[in-house]
Structure 1
């Protein structure tokens, strides 16, 4: 779940965007956690752009031949041309994240998109819109496009970057409608969840949070970059302040033609992020993560370094009747129910003490054997043996295996910036 190359990929994307022709962006004053200042498109009516799925098939028959916008623009060369043609990046320059996102089409087209890891996310959302005349009685145009948003959070920095864009624009019109006059708007805003944050949470928005352009400009310069950050006060974690800021970044979408009401989609995309300065418990002292990512500890029963730990966890999850303490109807969390990290060393030791007592009750004195009491859920989770529901398991395994298993758990915590109370899952493979 690491992200070793996402900085490089973002730079590559930004460099391609910078090579495109210069355009003037419509800017708004950025505001910290002030979504009311962001652009909110008006609701759609029967006239104007509407979702093609809501239009009778009989109306679509004459508008079912998409034309790439570049070709359409050439055929309307008498119209004022916006922007300039630029070289499109060859396929081998496309980022790994984009390629992977396209393979996750079902998740990628949702509002939250596909969240690959704590540090990478993406949305690829296809649109198919019909333009009705001002009376709302006749379909006079059709617009297809893909909306992309790539997100990059950073382990080591309190920032998150979004590469947003509109691509693969295709159109069809009935005279006298002219698609070169159509526009698409992307408007970003952010909100802070104070109840899930530490005191005085703040987010710094980028200077430009809206881009409202004609299709020709989007076609020539399809992407733009936004950076959200959170200021920090330096190390405060020893005083109990991890400077956590729980925030959501939203994007609203608008599509318009000069003669009719615009199409509007509020919250076309949203991204949950958390900034922190948690210190060494998180690995790198500060960082940002996508909170919607599923974090998993993966172990294999064929891995010689942790095969005993893996088998113990597998039995606890799949065959709890084989484990101790034993009782009818026993279940153990971690596969479908998440575990939650526990950082408090005193409570961790209480879990270990109770688990060790259970091991001795079952196997007697095992000192000098080289075996150790392995516990699942782990002592470093809130679901450990002292939780009080007895939904845990203990087993004697070799000390070397037990020690390596502990290292794997810690690496999972720090690699994914799993803080106290954060959920994660466990997956055991063959």
Structure 2
């Protein structure tokens, strides 16, 4: 055997021994070793890595106080004016969002029709495909704070990467790790949406630590008031955020998550039926009318709704198996005045049938679901028959009027348009 052949055998034996030691966890992998052939590395979730490979990394509690800024001693740059303006609408939204577990999901926590947030926590390991060698661990939080506006055809999203904790093994340079956020915003309806010039941010983790926030503003074209002509200039759009993390030593596909955050939004110029003539809302936000039994102004209205929702068979018209929506099944706003009048006509006929002539008594016929909903008394099935999923009751006239004003307020405060869903909740 010549010297060259012997050298090849020795080199092969050395590589085999090194791989065995790495697999046993007795050696620390270097980037050069990790990047060769079957030892190519890539970021993967910690849940896919054996516990013994995670033991070398610190166990750090997940909290704002333990973020990378405190750990590394780096300071955040001041937010840009656009970010500061968006956050000024609710500077405590992020803190409030962190208290809601549902925020750690792509659809996030919807505070109301004008504010939403997503708070995703990521824990990744840079490892070989067989997970036998780890080169580092990376933890961070990704945020999306959304702000819609009552009075403007505009929506702001404040997007960020925060609380970065990077732990490379000796020989791996985590300053070269990068995190990217890519936003896709697509809309359909009356005109296109104006988008920001930048919808993607790719930065090394040091840059994210220095400036974690960036903002995206979307607006819909405004043609002026056309609602009298039947054009409410509705634009429905959705935002999708994708994440990607990579290292220069990555030889496999970078870790990525499409749809890390999602948001649905609607722009409109609906006119006075929505309160302010134009605006934007997060359509997944829950709109709710809350009435208190302890409120003397609407005590009878609240009691009627409570009975209708909880004991519908005791309300008129009365029959076994009766159910009335609004608590768990939403109601839907009806704007057509003629159809509202038909709802009232059916409800009043029930009041007259049960209580007779009540004129001059100061009482009025209260109907639930409200006449201003598609679920009102005149609701019919596919065969054209009344479904009778309603209740009609005589209550004090002023109480009835005050209850009606509360309903109108919910419609305008939440920009509830025709066929938009909302719920009714009765509390003590």
Equivalent of 1:398 in 377, 387, 396: 396
Q: Secondary structure at the match of 2:357?
A: coil
Question: How far did 1:301 drift?
Answer: 0.7
Say whether the 8 Å CA contact 1:301–1:311 is kept in structure 2. yes
Shift of residue 108 of structure 1? 0.5
Separation of aligned partners in 1, 2:51 and 2:366: 63
Q: Distance in 2 between matches of 1:72 and 1:369?
A: 73
Deviation at 1:58?
2.1
Query: Which residues of 2 match residues 196-211 of structure 1 at below 5 A?
Result: 197=189, 200-211=190-201
SS class of match (1:203): coil
- By how many angstroms is 1:137 displaced? 3.6
1:43-192 to structure 2, matched below 5 A, reads 47-66=41-60, 69=68, 85-86=75-76, 95-104=91-100, 106-133=101-128, 137-192=132-187
Task: Report the CA distance shift for 1:222/1:118 in structure 2 as closer, same or farther (over 3 A).
Answer: same
Q: Is the 8 A contact 2:238 2:262 kept in 1?
A: yes
Deviation, structure 1 residue 85: 4.1
Whole-angstrom CA distance in 2 between matches of 1:417 and 1:357: 32
Name the counterpart of 1:322: 314
- Aligned pairs for 1:208-219 (under 5 A) are 208-219=198-209
Rounded to whole Å, the distance in 2 between the matches of 1:320 and 1:252 is: 47
Residue of structure 1 in register with 2:410 after alignment? 412
Q: Once the 2 structures are TM-superposed, how far is the Cα of residue 112 of structure 1 from its aligned partner?
A: 1.1
TM-score, normalised relative to structure 1:
0.82
Task: Report the 3-state secondary structure (helix = DSSP H, G, I; strand = E; otherwise coil) of the residue aligned with 1:417.
Answer: coil
Q: Which structure would you say has the larger Rg?
A: 2
CA shift, 1:86, in A, is: 4.1
Asked if structure 2 preserves the Cα contact closer than 8 Å seen for 1:47 and 1:131, the reply is: yes
Cα distance in 1, alignment partners of residues 67 and 154 from structure 2:
36
Report if the CA contact (8 A) 1:70-1:219 is conserved: yes
Distance verdict in 2 for CA 1:130–1:350, change over 3 Å:
same
SS of structure 2 residue aligned to 1:378: coil
Contact 1:68–1:171 (Cα < 8 Å) also in 2: no
TM superposition shift of 1:100: 1.2
- Correspondence 1:252 to 2:242: yes
Q: Which has the higher contact order (CA 8 A, sep 6+)?
A: 1
Aligned partner of 1:16 in structure 2 is: none
321, 336, 348: which is aligned to 1:356?
348
Deviation at 1:70, TM superposition (A): 5.3
Unpaired runs of 5+ residues, structure 2, are 1-38, 61-65, 80-87, 380-385
Provide the rounded CA distance (Å) in 2 between the counterparts of 1:239 and 1:180.
58
Task: Note the alpha carbon deviations across 1:132-183, whole angstroms, 9 max, x for none.
Answer: 1477541111001111111000000001001110111111111211111111
Matched residue pairs, number? 368
Greater displacement, 51-60 / 313-322: 51-60
Secondary structure (helix, strand or coil) at the match of 1:208 reads coil
The alignment partner of 2:197 has SS state of coil
RMSD over aligned Cα atoms: 2.0
Counterpart residue number, 1:237: 227
**Does the 8 A contact of 1:187 with 1:211 survive in 2?**
yes
State the partner residue of 2:371. Answer: 379
